[in-house]
A and B are shown apart, each in its own frame.
Chain A
Amino acid sequence: MGADPTLVAQLSRWLADTDITLLELRGPAGTLRLVREKDGLREEALAPDAAASEATETVLAPFLGVFLVRHPLRLREAASLGHRLNKGDVIGFLRVGPTLVAVRSPCDGFMQDVLATDGATVGFGTPLFAILPLLPGVSP
């Protein structure tokens, strides 16, 4: 795979002391992911073509509404960047008048990016989140 084992070990130790759940190293030889699970760190090596062809899942707004990254009662985001997601997890909200519609993760994966502005009114189909799916066949 070509990644320096010493560097990986160092990064792993460093990662263990943080609340970062995903670290991705991309190089010409491929991609290495360090994924933090409940019971420790897991390495995931991807071949270059797999990494390149891998599609980011974009989550679109199902309604017209006000986009919220956190439940109105909560002080923290429903899913912060790098957050490990299960399919169906609530990752954001659309507010329509007094009602809230949950935006859910379409797949197992990681929160890669928030594409809309918290508090902004978004139309139907507006991209809200980019999710990095877990590779098929790789069970967490």
Chain B
Amino acid sequence: MIEIIEAAALATVQDLGRVGALNLGVGLAGVMDPMALSAGNILLGNEEGAAAIEIPLFPFTVRFRQSIDFTVTGADCAPSLDGRPVQPWFACRAEAGTTLTLSVPAAAAWPAARAYLCVAGGVDVPLVLGSRSTQLRGSFGGHLGRPLRNGDVVPTGVAKGTASGIGLVPPSLDIPVSVDGVPAVRVLPAAEYEAFTPEAHQRLWSCAWRITPQSDRYGFRLGGDELIPTAPLELRSHGIVPGVIQVPHGGQPIIQMRDAQPSGGYPKIGVVIEADLWRLGQAPIGSRIRFLRCTWDEALDAGAANRRWLEKARRTVSILADRRTV
């Protein structure tokens, strides 16, 4: 059991998302940074998709009611256990009754917005429609279908594997993507790409887009040059997915994120490829990102690179963890 002592707003229980319920109008939800979740679970010997707590705002303080292995991945929020520093992206042991405090992320080699508190055995809230992720619209999944509050007690599962006691280098440092020194995400043009002006195309690929404060798990509103279609577009409602870059009438793009509604009708100029959504999900408010045009094959290769990184992490962690216990 984990007791929430101090939760800043919008901390939620998430796993890799709720797949297969789109025909009920139920979107994906799930972590904004799936690489950080999977890495944390690998360090703890969990299944890769075990649920964790996603923390977008700080400080965040919990008390462990029993001894448990845990790790804090994602943004480096200077985790400390009963006042003693613990390393980010490391599996650590917490004794019963100890208090873990996460602070506002400081300047780091990888500026990131969200931290993940993963525990051995995972956060054991009930599966709803196949997932433990919090679905805010409709209020189900996660912990009582809502963000965590002070005093909440979150159940943890039975640890199946062995926590490694070691750490991982965040994949953002291992497999970075940037253009002219600005963090980048790869984009495939979408259905209405050709309906935008040549200026809009040029701007899309050359602007360093600012993540505005109106950005959250639903969508990232970007600040930058206006993207204008050659003529007004009327679309019929259709399914959309996280990563879709919609351009409403004002010309300022919005990228759909994990809590976005699963259908829409605004013109789509492009879609951030699934393999780079974790990079975007960690972009802090006020930071800038570039869009990097890619081909279908490059997009699939990017997904394969993520899987290779996780596979290598799993293999190396298990080898080193074995040597430590000998």
Interface residues of A (CB under 8 A from B): 63, 71-75, 90, 93, 95-102
In the complex, the answer to whether B316 meets A98 with C-beta atoms within 8 Å is yes
B76 at interface (Cβ–Cβ under 8 A)? yes
Chain A hits for B323, CB < 8 A: 63
Q: Closest Cβ of chain A: how far from B98's Cβ, in Å?
A: 15
In the complex, the answer to whether A99 meets B170 with C-beta atoms within 8 Å is no
Main secondary structure of the interface of B (DSSP, over half): mixed
B158 at interface (Cβ–Cβ under 8 A)? no
In the complex, the answer to whether B107 meets A75 with C-beta atoms within 8 Å is yes
In the complex, the answer to whether A74 meets B108 with C-beta atoms within 8 Å is yes
Residue of B nearest to A99 (CB): B316
B168 at interface (Cβ–Cβ under 8 A)? yes
Known: A90-B87, A99-B168, A100-B168. A72 touches B109 (CB 8 A): yes
CB-based A-B contact count at 8 angstroms: 63
Interface residue from A63, A75, A98, A102 paired with B108 (Cβ < 8 Å) = A75
In the complex, the answer to whether A71 meets B87 with C-beta atoms within 8 Å is yes
Besides A98-B312, A100-B89, 7 other CB < 8 A contacts? A72-B109, A75-B107, A96-B320, A99-B166, A99-B320, A100-B169, A101-B320
Most buried by A among B169, B312, B320: B169
In the complex, the answer to whether B169 meets A99 with C-beta atoms within 8 Å is yes
Q: Closest Cβ of chain A: how far from B61's Cβ, in Å?
A: 21
| A20 to B63 CA separation, bound complex (whole angstroms) | 34
Chain A hits for B87, CB < 8 A: 71, 90, 100, 102
Known: A73-B76, A75-B108. A100 touches B173 (CB 8 A): no
Please tell me the size bucket of the interface on B. Answer: 20 to 34
| A95 to B89 CA separation, bound complex (whole angstroms) | 13
Interface residues of B (CB under 8 A from A): 76, 85, 87-90, 107-110, 166-171, 173-174, 309, 312-313, 316-317, 320, 323
Chain B hits for A99, CB < 8 A: 166-169, 313, 316-317, 320
Interface residue from B109, B309, B312, B317 paired with A73 (Cβ < 8 Å) = B109
Q: Closest Cβ of chain B: how far from A67's Cβ, in Å?
A: 14
Known: A99-B317, A102-B90. A75 touches B166 (CB 8 A): no
Q: Closest Cβ of chain B: how far from A39's Cβ, in Å?
A: 16
Q: Closest Cβ of chain A: how far from B115's Cβ, in Å?
A: 11
Q: Closest Cβ of chain B: how far from A66's Cβ, in Å?
A: 10
In the complex, the answer to whether A101 meets B110 with C-beta atoms within 8 Å is no
In the complex, the answer to whether B309 meets A98 with C-beta atoms within 8 Å is yes
Q: Closest Cβ of chain B: how far from A132's Cβ, in Å?
A: 21
In the complex, the answer to whether A100 meets B108 with C-beta atoms within 8 Å is no
| A99 to B109 CA separation, bound complex (whole angstroms) | 17
Could you list some 7 contacts between A and B, CB below 8 A? A63-B323, A93-B167, A97-B316, A98-B309, A98-B312, A99-B313, A102-B166
Chain B hits for A97, CB < 8 A: 312-313, 316
Chain A hits for B320, CB < 8 A: 63, 96, 99, 101
| A93 to B169 CA separation, bound complex (whole angstroms) | 11
Interface residue from A75, A96, A100 paired with B90 (Cβ < 8 Å) = A100
Q: Closest Cβ of chain B: how far from A103's Cβ, in Å?
A: 11
Chain B hits for A93, CB < 8 A: 167
Most buried by B among A72, A97, A99: A99
In the complex, the answer to whether B170 meets A102 with C-beta atoms within 8 Å is no
Chain B hits for A101, CB < 8 A: 166-167, 320
